[in-house]
Structure 1
Amino acid sequence: MEPKISEKAWNPELEKNILKQWEEEKIYEFIPENENFTIDTPPPYPSGRPWHIGAAAHYSQIDMIARTARMAGKNVYFPIGIDRNGLPVELYTEKKHNIRMRETQRDEFLNLCREALDDLEAEMILIMKNLGISGNFANYYRTDSEEYRSLTQATFIELWNRGEVYLANRPNNYDWVSGTTIADAEITYEDIPTKLVYMKFKIQDTDKEIIIASTRPELLCACKTIIVNPEDERYTQYIGKNIIVPITNAEVKLRTHHSAQQEFGSGAVMVCSYGDQNDVALFREFEMEEIVAIGLDGKMTEAAGEYAGLKPKQARTKIIEDLESKGFVEKIEDIVHRTPVSERSKIPIEIIPMEEYYLKQKDSVEKMKKLGQEIKFHPPMHKQILMNWLESISIDWPISRRRFYGTEIPIWYCKSCSEPHVPEPGKYYKPWAEEAPFDKCTKCGKSEFVGEERTFDTWMDSSVSPLFVSKFNRDKEFFDKVYPTTIRPQAKDIVRTWLYYTLLRCEQLTGKKPWSEAWIMGYGLDEKGMKMSKSKGNAIDPLPVIEKLGADTFRFWSASEINHGYDFRCNEQKIESTKKFLSKLWNVSRFLSSFPVIESGNVNPTDKWILAELDNLVKECKKGYEEYNFFVPAIAIREFTWNLFAAHYIEMVKARAYGIGFSDEERDGAIFTLHKTLSTILKLLAPITPFITEYLWKELYSKESIHRQLQVEPESLEDQSSITKEITEFNSLVWNEKKKQNLSLKDTISIEIPDNLKSYKNDLKSMHNLA
């Protein structure tokens, strides 16, 4: 019999035709019902070359979530968005055009940013489509659209009117490279080599001195007090005395505080404005007047005296030299210091007092903890990232940024009395470029206004993504059907930012948590185990890999390589090696296409055995899919298909399926079982490899898409795993014996079938040509 499938191998070029069919048939079209499965899809950010291979693996698995839910009978809403706000595109635009943002007309700079984003976005959309992502591309959104930005502004206006936003001048994390405040959540910590300088501070009116160890001697000019631990007996007699600061000769008091660590350095600590967050807290507690030692340009201010104008690192080197030459240094140690670094610019941050807008969050921490406990995390271990972050929150969220490409803060100030005014929500406002939508000041009655020039922290936009896709305040009927959304898929590195801020903002605005489940993925690493990033130059571009090997090969690698929630290594050779499984699946399907599909048949013990094993496979896959852990079904399906179905069962029933030496009834039992097994494998595999399963399904079983089928449910058949071991061991015994005797697999051999396998005698005899 000629196989119905004539092609001898799966051709990834067929994926393009299948993509076109899906688009024409609109098989992923979403029409809201009373119950919906809504995915709060992460809008990827096109900065520089869009995406590395780890990100593409992440999004292919998000698509597996959508396909799994559809085959579970759920009405899936799978929106697609592109995140186009914030610092990365500004830095990319500056580098591409060799310009400086603050030296360029704002309108001109914004246009250059938009053009850059458009080009990068087009490639990103192409990658997503080529991956077979089944989202709503026809209506994909952009976070820099007027519609999206007007929502961000409307939510701010509502919170402003409720008193949840305030203006304050406080010490802030400052990224002097990008020239803006950043939130605690945008800081990472790196171990950086530095010098720990043991400095001699004289005790006034004595010939005594105390030694103070610091990694930041350039802040001596901002030192306002010295602290020691109250239990540190070395300093008891000097508490309350004046201490002379070296170089500056300023007089400061020695006091006690529990935060001083007796075991670090000498146990005595200088408190400066501002070396670290502990300094910030101590300045507030002691109500001390700050000295601004570092300016917005990232250089030492006039307060630093002769070191003014130097960058902190330069000032540190110079002041150490001066301390040594004047005899103020006891010793210097080379250490590795855990240093706060800007996540964006990768430069150590400074703490500088600045006037910014804050959104209240401290009072919501306990409520966020409660909501966090209600959310089901996949895998559960990553819930702790959120809980640890909530434990660390000590200040409200600074939400204003001194950048250009972002959603503008919709405030105008009275030119006369500086009273802030916010407009009515509903449209997108650009205060820096537009006339104020007010006739007169509500406080003094004057009619001239000045528009706010700052923008929001980009997380102010991203944190309302579930509200935007649900058409919050735009379509109440639609919103009521799809919100709260069902699941938030995202990477683990933005749990403390995107996940937390979304939880906070959506609860503030709706009184509900935005989703009931969170699906968290690990990092894509390079071959050496280093985190992949475009800035490090170790990122693999996914598009050439997908075009060369096909999306299904890439997707199956993603599922079979990545144990959900853990970091994973990316290697193109490994991706290519997974193609072998698709070839095996194709060969099995091509062989089975020689036989007609039979709806029922009388099955013999061999058929019952493989159907029982198939039922175990269904159970295993169901378990994995319910947890959205695609590693589980991918490994189970490959193992079953390759090492059991193809290697043992098909070989055992091949002669019977052809009707050689068997009755028609026995033949039909084999053919029925072969097709039932293959059709089940295709359904189980469809969420992971949507192209090849679609093609084979339509060729063999139905003209309707496999992605419109319901997933197979377990039949609770009797477990026959003990028989499996005996069958596979007997088959291996025969194959090894033939190899020993230098016989081909088709040659006759005389080997006794064990008594416990007598039920399978006829199939085993025909398989091995037993005498």
Structure 2
Amino acid sequence: MEPKIQEKAWNPELEKKIRENWQETNLYKFQLANENFTIDTPPPYPSGRPWHIGAAAHYAQIDMIARTARMAGKNVYFPIGIDRNGLPVELYTEKKYNIRMRETERGKFLELCREALDDLEAEMIQIMKNLGISGGIDEHYRTDSEEYRSLTQATFIELWKKGQVYLATRPNNYDWVSGTTIADAEITYEDIPTKLVYMKFKVSDSSEEIIIASTRPELLCACKTVIVNPEDERYTKLVGKKLIVPIFGNEVEIKTHHSAQKEFGSGAVMVCSYGDQNDVALFRELKLDEVIAIGLDGRMTESAGEYQGLKPKQARTKIIEDLQTKGFVEKIEEISHRTPVSERSKTPIEIIPMEEYYLKQIDSVEKMKELGSEIKFHPNMHKQILMNWLESISIDWPISRRRFYGTEIPIWYCKKCSEPHVPEPGKYFKPWKDESPIKKCTKCGNSEFVGEDRTFDTWMDSSVSPLFVTKFQKDEEFFKKTYPTGIRPQAKDIVRTWLYYTLLRCEQLTGKKPWAEAWIMGYGLDEKGMKMSKSKGNAIDPLPVVEKFGADTFRFWSASEINHGYDFRCNEQKIESTKKFLSKLWNVSRFLSSFPVIESTKILDSDKWILAELNKLIKECKKGYDEYNFFVPAIAIREFTWNLFAAHYIEMVKARAYGIGFSDEEKNAAIYTLHKVLSTILKLMAPITPFITEHLWKTLYSEESIHKQKQVEVEDHTDMSAITKEIEEFNSKVWNEKKSKDLSLKDSIAIKVPPSLVPFEKDLTSMHNLI
């Protein structure tokens, strides 16, 4: 019999034709229904070379979520966006065109940012298409579009009118490289080698000295008090006395405070404005007068005296030398210091008082905890990232940034009295260049205004993604039927930013949580277990890998390699090895394509056995798919197909399927069962490997796409696991016996079938040529 499938191997080049067919038939086009399953898909960020292989694996699995939901009978809305705001875009543009943002006319710089992004976006879109992403790629949105930015501004205006936004001058995290305030959520911590300097402070009315240890001696000019723990008996007699600050000579008072740790350094701590967040809190609590030691240019100010103009690290080196020369140093220790670092520029941040706009969040923390507890996390362990972050929030969210490429803050100030005014929402405003839409100051009646030139923190844009895709304030019926969304898939490193800020903003604007479920993925690591990133140079470009091996090979590697929620290593050799399973599936399908599909017939015990094992597979896959953990079905399908269906059942019934020594009824039972098992495997695999399953399904079973089929239901079968073990052991025994006697697998051998396997005797006899 000639097989329907002529090709001897799966050719990944077929994927392009299959993609074109999906597009021509609008297979995945979304049609609004009364009930919809919306995926709040993360818009990827094209900064520098777009995407590394770990990110591509992430999006491949997000597509598996969509395909799983469709086969579960849900009407899936799977919008795709591109995130085109913020600092990385600006840095890439500066590097690409060899320019500096603040030295370039703003309009020209924005134009260059858009041009740089367009090329990167095109490649990112191509990767998505090659991966078989079944979302709205052709109608993808951009976060820098006028439509998107106008929504960001409209939501800000709404919260402004509700009194949720205010202007304040406070010590802020300052990234002097990018020249802007950053939020706590944009800070990471690194252990950096540094010097702990033990300095001598003289008591002003005696010859006594006390030792104070600090990692930031360059801030001596900003020292306003020294604190000791109230229980530290070493300093009891000195509390209330004055100390002379080394080099600068000003006097500060010794005070007690519980935050001073007796075990750290000498137990005495200098409080400067502003060495760290503890200093910020102490300055507020003790009502100290601040000294601005570091300016917006990241250099020491005139308050630092002869160290003015030096960068903090340079000033630190110089002041340590001067302290040693003048006899103010007792000792210096080399330590590893936990240092706050800007997530974007990778440089240590400074804390500088700045006037910024704040969005209230402290008052919402308890509500966020309540909503967070209601969201089902996949896996559940990553819910703790959100809860830990909520416990750490101590200030409101600074939302203004001193950058160019971002959504502008829609505020105009009266030229006469400086009263801020926001316009009515509905369009995209550019206050730095647009004429004021406000004609008269509500406070003084003046008619002249000046526009705000700051932009929003990029998370102000990203945090309204579920509102944008569901057409909030634009299409009431669409919004009502698609929001709250079904699921938010994302990586774990942005739980405290994107996930949290979306939860905060959407609750403030709608009174509801934005999604029912959150799906959190781990990091893509290199072969050595290091986190992949473009800046480290250890990122693998996914496009040539997918073009070389095919999307299905890549996708099956992603599913079978990554236990959901955990970090995973990326290795091209492992991806290539995945081809072996797809080749096995192809060979099985090609063999079965020789036999006609039989609708139903009476089956034998061997058939009942494999169908019982198939039923176990369906249960296992359903468990994995219900949790969107694709590792579970990928491993289970591979194990069943390769090591049970192909290795044992097909070999057992091959002769029967050909009708050699069996009746037509027995022959049809084998053929029916073979196709039932294969067709089920294809449907179970379809969300993971959409191309090969589509091709095989249409070739063997139906003109209708496999992706329009409902997922397989669990059937009522008697558990035959004990028999499975016996069949495997008996077959292995026969194979080993033949090998030991230097016989081929086709040669006859005298071995008796054990009593427990008598119901399978005829199939086993023909399989092994038993005599």
State the Cα distance separating 1:32 from its structure 2 match: 1.3
Amino acid at match of 1:695: H
Amino acid at match of 2:110: L
The residue that corresponds to 2:208 in the other structure is 208
State the Cα distance separating 1:580 from its structure 2 match: 0.3
State the Cα distance separating 1:620 from its structure 2 match: 0.1
**Matches for 1:145-156 after TM superposition, within 5 Å:** 145-156=145-156
1:676-727 Cα deviation digits (max 9, x unpaired): 0000000000000000000000000000000000000110311111100000
1:317-370 Cα deviation digits (max 9, x unpaired): 000000000110000000000000000000000000000000000000000000
The residue that corresponds to 1:403 in the other structure is 403
State the Cα distance separating 1:203 from its structure 2 match: 1.0
Amino acid at match of 1:366: E
State the Cα distance separating 1:139 from its structure 2 match: 1.7
The residue that corresponds to 2:97 in the other structure is 97
The residue that corresponds to 1:453 in the other structure is 453
The residue that corresponds to 2:251 in the other structure is 251
The residue that corresponds to 2:622 in the other structure is 622
State the Cα distance separating 1:438 from its structure 2 match: 1.6
- Could you tell me the TM-score, scaled by structure 1's length? 1.00
The residue that corresponds to 2:380 in the other structure is 380
Amino acid at match of 1:67: R
The residue that corresponds to 1:591 in the other structure is 591
The residue that corresponds to 2:687 in the other structure is 687
The residue that corresponds to 1:489 in the other structure is 489
Structure 2: gaps (5+ residues): none
Q: Counterpart of 2:536 in 1: which secondary structure?
A: coil
Q: Counterpart of 1:516 in 2: which secondary structure?
A: strand
**Matches for 1:721-736 after TM superposition, within 5 Å:** 721-736=721-736
The residue that corresponds to 2:440 in the other structure is 440
Q: Counterpart of 1:733 in 2: which secondary structure?
A: helix
1:49-72 Cα deviation digits (max 9, x unpaired): 000000000000000000000000
The residue that corresponds to 1:287 in the other structure is 287
The residue that corresponds to 2:665 in the other structure is 665
The residue that corresponds to 1:710 in the other structure is 710
State the Cα distance separating 1:288 from its structure 2 match: 0.9
Q: Does structure 1 residue 578 correspond to structure 2 residue 588?
A: no
Give the distance between the partners of 2:453 and 2:480, measured in 1 at CA.
36
State the Cα distance separating 1:445 from its structure 2 match: 1.1
State the Cα distance separating 1:144 from its structure 2 match: 0.2
The residue that corresponds to 1:303 in the other structure is 303
Q: Counterpart of 2:599 in 1: which secondary structure?
A: coil
Give the distance between the partners of 1:477 and 1:637, measured in 2 at CA.
41
The residue that corresponds to 1:170 in the other structure is 170
Give the distance between the partners of 1:753 and 1:160, measured in 2 at CA.
81
State the Cα distance separating 1:138 from its structure 2 match: 2.7
Amino acid at match of 1:148: Y
Give the distance between the partners of 1:713 and 1:116, measured in 2 at CA.
49
How many residues align? The count is: 771
Give the distance between the partners of 1:466 and 1:139, measured in 2 at CA.
16
The residue that corresponds to 1:43 in the other structure is 43
State the Cα distance separating 1:601 from its structure 2 match: 1.5
The residue that corresponds to 1:538 in the other structure is 538
Q: Counterpart of 2:485 in 1: which secondary structure?
A: coil
Give the distance between the partners of 1:37 and 1:619, measured in 2 at CA.
23
The residue that corresponds to 2:567 in the other structure is 567
Q: Counterpart of 2:341 in 1: which secondary structure?
A: strand
State the Cα distance separating 1:752 from its structure 2 match: 1.1
State the Cα distance separating 1:34 from its structure 2 match: 1.3
State the Cα distance separating 1:602 from its structure 2 match: 1.3
Q: Counterpart of 2:358 in 1: which secondary structure?
A: strand
Give the distance between the partners of 2:342 and 2:645, measured in 1 at CA.
54
Give the distance between the partners of 1:761 and 1:196, measured in 2 at CA.
80
The residue that corresponds to 2:108 in the other structure is 108
Amino acid at match of 2:41: T
Structure 1: gaps (5+ residues): none
The residue that corresponds to 1:267 in the other structure is 267
The residue that corresponds to 2:73 in the other structure is 73
Deviates more, 1:652-661 or 1:710-719: 710-719
1:71-112 Cα deviation digits (max 9, x unpaired): 000000000000000000100000111110000000000000
The residue that corresponds to 1:193 in the other structure is 193
Deviates more, 1:443-452 or 1:564-573: 443-452
Q: Does structure 1 residue 430 correspond to structure 2 residue 430?
A: yes
1:494-527 Cα deviation digits (max 9, x unpaired): 0000000000000000000000100000000000
**Matches for 1:635-654 after TM superposition, within 5 Å:** 635-654=635-654
Q: Does structure 1 residue 738 correspond to structure 2 residue 744?
A: no
**Matches for 1:465-476 after TM superposition, within 5 Å:** 465-476=465-476
Give the distance between the partners of 2:150 and 2:357, measured in 1 at CA.
19
The residue that corresponds to 1:12 in the other structure is 12
**Matches for 1:126-145 after TM superposition, within 5 Å:** 126-145=126-145
RMSD (Å), alpha carbons = 0.4
Give the distance between the partners of 1:579 and 1:116, measured in 2 at CA.
36
Give the distance between the partners of 1:282 and 1:599, measured in 2 at CA.
79
Give the distance between the partners of 2:719 and 2:620, measured in 1 at CA.
13
Give the distance between the partners of 2:261 and 2:438, measured in 1 at CA.
56
1:524-571 Cα deviation digits (max 9, x unpaired): 000000000000000000000000000000000000000000000000
Amino acid at match of 1:270: M
Q: Counterpart of 2:197 in 1: which secondary structure?
A: strand
Q: Does structure 1 residue 313 correspond to structure 2 residue 313?
A: yes
Q: Counterpart of 1:653 in 2: which secondary structure?
A: helix
Give the distance between the partners of 1:457 and 1:726, measured in 2 at CA.
64
Give the distance between the partners of 1:438 and 1:149, measured in 2 at CA.
20
1:723-743 Cα deviation digits (max 9, x unpaired): 000000000000000000000
- Could you tell me the TM-score, scaled by structure 2's length? 1.00
Give the distance between the partners of 2:721 and 2:245, measured in 1 at CA.
79
Give the distance between the partners of 1:42 and 1:555, measured in 2 at CA.
18
The residue that corresponds to 1:240 in the other structure is 240
Give the distance between the partners of 1:744 and 1:557, measured in 2 at CA.
34
After TM superposition, which residue ranges in structure 1, 4 or more long, deviate above 2 angstroms? Answer: none
Deviates more, 1:47-56 or 1:204-213: 204-213
1:251-297 Cα deviation digits (max 9, x unpaired): 00100111111100001100000000000000000111100000000
Q: Counterpart of 1:527 in 2: which secondary structure?
A: coil
Give the distance between the partners of 1:77 and 1:258, measured in 2 at CA.
54
Q: Counterpart of 1:486 in 2: which secondary structure?
A: strand
Give the distance between the partners of 1:450 and 1:80, measured in 2 at CA.
37
Q: Does structure 1 residue 525 correspond to structure 2 residue 522?
A: no
State the Cα distance separating 1:19 from its structure 2 match: 0.2
Give the distance between the partners of 2:440 and 2:654, measured in 1 at CA.
89
State the Cα distance separating 1:198 from its structure 2 match: 0.4
Give the distance between the partners of 1:48 and 1:137, measured in 2 at CA.
21
State the Cα distance separating 1:440 from its structure 2 match: 1.6
Give the distance between the partners of 2:75 and 2:65, measured in 1 at CA.
13
Give the distance between the partners of 1:437 and 1:29, measured in 2 at CA.
40
**Matches for 1:43-62 after TM superposition, within 5 Å:** 43-62=43-62
State the Cα distance separating 1:444 from its structure 2 match: 1.1
